[in-house]
Structure 1
């Protein structure tokens, strides 16, 4: 009895589409019962576990295996084979949050000696679907019956394409932002604030961190699949049969398929590692650009703080320039001075009243008292600050004396030691 592989896509756009809801509860429960999906698989989704891998063997020489993968996907990564219903409505916006929506994918593989090999895909991305369709049309589709975990390798191939494209998209956007920050730092005059660039750098750094976590998860998944890559389900026609040339040929073919699968998984691991290294270098550049943007923001704040005292100095200078004129005009226009025209030729007589002298008798001592109080306050503040920063003179002398006695004691002990 030959086994025919099946690939079932059981999820759409939303990452929560395989969680039983009121309108889809019956359909999802029937699907889970039909393919014998493990309870741990659903429990992972309930506990919001985004990365996992497991394999369970059964008593009929079969097994069930699954892995879960969460990553950020560039909104522009939609291909022609993805239906319009799965297109994100937020691709027209320009914010970094909607440019890289979160996607959660899960793949459940079931294989046994008396049933078909079935792969149920939850939340599969466009590249994964395209790779599955290409695999169905290729000659290697019949090898899936020999080692069903070939389907996991195909899914990882599509996931790597999506993750790598997202990493390249993040790097391209960061390069534009990095150029703007460098140009801003090189400009002599401050025209606009770099706070907007600082916020964009934070968003890019957050998505890069999420993508780095996804790459670590992919490497862990590949390690788990490599440990179980030699699992091949014997066909029902070859069980309990004596050795024959045909059985030897099928055994050799099975060994070759297992070896090819391991080689493909090793190659897939190097691809994920390459993307991880490029993303690691990108994160270092993001940290450097964020530090530069933070310094620019600090410089702007310092410049704004400096502009305040400068304006106060300008006001004080203008007051000092016009203060004598204002004082003379105030005294002349008050009742302290009396002016009288003596004749018609224009001669005037200006005389001071007793209040004029009384003004100076009161104002001069009061001014001196205020100046003395101000000097005393400044002297007190200076002494208080010096006490907090430096120890007092007697404390310094005590420390010097203690150090001197300790050194002298050590010197005496050394001189008294026998030769």
Structure 2
């Protein structure tokens, strides 16, 4: 589509922008330094692996290219790769937007067929692992002059890294040999492609099926991506289980539960957040598989697949991949419910602790009130007698003490009595007013 194509300068700008997710990696720096990419090619004898520039790619050969994900280091060589393979500029335009799910297909007038998609997944590291990516990002920020105070410590159990990948399958005109370009492929995808390389030989049945239906290579990518996401989901399960167990043990110790319960709320919230990210990844792959199946079903049949048998096999494989990701979605749903149950139990435990504390405080207040009531008459008599209202005079004739009452004694009761009645009346009136307002508000709400 000529109207949606971007000029070469705009493509380079899109590839050179800083990624929203992730950070610099060694593959990008190596590609920028040596100006080469990791290329696997199927020759007449076997698969060969070499490092070459995009302009040095051999025509008419099945190949897999492992390229770094676009960033300022690798933008120049990746721009040359997109130009060499006639990859649409839409692939580069999606990159700075960091989309979670996208898939596109294009068949140009010259016969070039291209299918591409992007994936985004939250990393869940094993307990005790340290992220090199986080370390490199922190180092880079500090080198740019940002204060160390601005780098807040991470929340326990938090992994701030993401796996961002892009895959593009291209079949050049005049050649039935596909080229699969993997931008920032995960380890599981690379391992699955290595297995494919071991069984795909020149003239073998596997090669004939791939030449008849090149989109089968994208099925391998989806299979490898499932292994990556499945491992992260199990790691999330391993992270939730000890927190869940600790909450249950605390529940057995009520009312004297552990004092570290409130720290569990942060961990449980973080687990819930990461489960949400994983669920978003699984939902994205399900949409991706649905769209890929639609692309496979609507493409023109290949001359080598006259009966459509290979296409049927590919659609069956994609249907199986869909069921696997549905299984991950069910597991994440169950895991989210376990986290919600733990949060509810933790909240109830904290409520019980607070209630026990309030009961202890109420008992203390009752004791204080009882002591006050016991000594209140004595205190009142001592206050009145010790004032200037009562005076004592020693009578030398009788040799005794005489008590004289001041005229202010009548004034004391004349003032204190009405004040006491007024305070009690104001308190009762205020309580009545508040209760009437509360009843009126409830009646309006209902």
Settle same-fold status: TM greater than 0.5: yes
* Structure with higher helix content: 1
Gap change, CA 1:141 and 1:66, over 3 Å in 2: same
Counterpart of 1:155 in structure 2 is: 221
Matched pairs, number: 358
Is 1:136 aligned to 2:193, yes or no? no
Deviates more, 1:112-121 or 1:300-309: 300-309
1:113–1:233 contact (8 Å) kept in structure 2: no
1:146–1:232 contact (8 Å) kept in structure 2: no
Q: TM-score, normalised by structure 2?
A: 0.69
Is 1:351 aligned to 2:411, yes or no? no
In 1, the alpha carbon distance for the partners of 2:165 and 2:401 equals 100
Counterpart of 1:371 in structure 2 is: 420
63, 66, 75: which one pairs with 2:113?
63
Alignment of 1:394-413 (within 5 A): none
1:137: Cα distance to partner? 0.9
1:322: Cα distance to partner? 3.5
Counterpart of 1:95 in structure 2 is: 156
Is 1:361 aligned to 2:410, yes or no? yes
1:64: Cα distance to partner? 0.3
1:257: Cα distance to partner? 2.9
Partner SS state of residue 158, structure 2: helix
Is 1:205 aligned to 2:255, yes or no? no
Counterpart of 1:269 in structure 2 is: 322
310, 316, 319: which one pairs with 2:369?
316
Is 1:380 aligned to 2:429, yes or no? yes
Counterpart of 1:291 in structure 2 is: 344
In 2, the alpha carbon distance for the partners of 1:260 and 1:323 equals 93
1:181: Cα distance to partner? 2.0
In 2, the alpha carbon distance for the partners of 1:201 and 1:297 equals 14
1:24: Cα distance to partner? 3.6
4, 8, 27: which one pairs with 2:65?
8
Higher relative contact order (CA closer than 8 Å, sequence separation 6+): 1
Is 1:123 aligned to 2:184, yes or no? yes
1:106–1:122 contact (8 Å) kept in structure 2: yes
1:184: Cα distance to partner? 2.5
Counterpart of 1:171 in structure 2 is: 237
In 2, the alpha carbon distance for the partners of 1:122 and 1:317 equals 77
Gap change, CA 1:367 and 1:106, over 3 Å in 2: same
In 2, the alpha carbon distance for the partners of 1:77 and 1:233 equals 49
Counterpart of 1:229 in structure 2 is: 296
Counterpart of 2:172 in structure 1 is: 112
1:271: Cα distance to partner? 0.7
Counterpart of 1:195 in structure 2 is: 262
Partner SS state of residue 374, structure 2: helix
In 2, the alpha carbon distance for the partners of 1:77 and 1:7 equals 34
Is 1:215 aligned to 2:272, yes or no? no
In 1, the alpha carbon distance for the partners of 2:256 and 2:127 equals 40
Q: TM-score, normalised by structure 1?
A: 0.73
Gap change, CA 1:271 and 1:146, over 3 Å in 2: same
What runs of 5+ residues in structure 2 fail to find an aligned partner?
1-42, 45-59, 137-153, 441-446
2:255–2:353 contact (8 Å) kept in structure 1: no
Counterpart of 2:98 in structure 1 is: 48
1:88: Cα distance to partner? 6.0
1:73–1:162 contact (8 Å) kept in structure 2: no
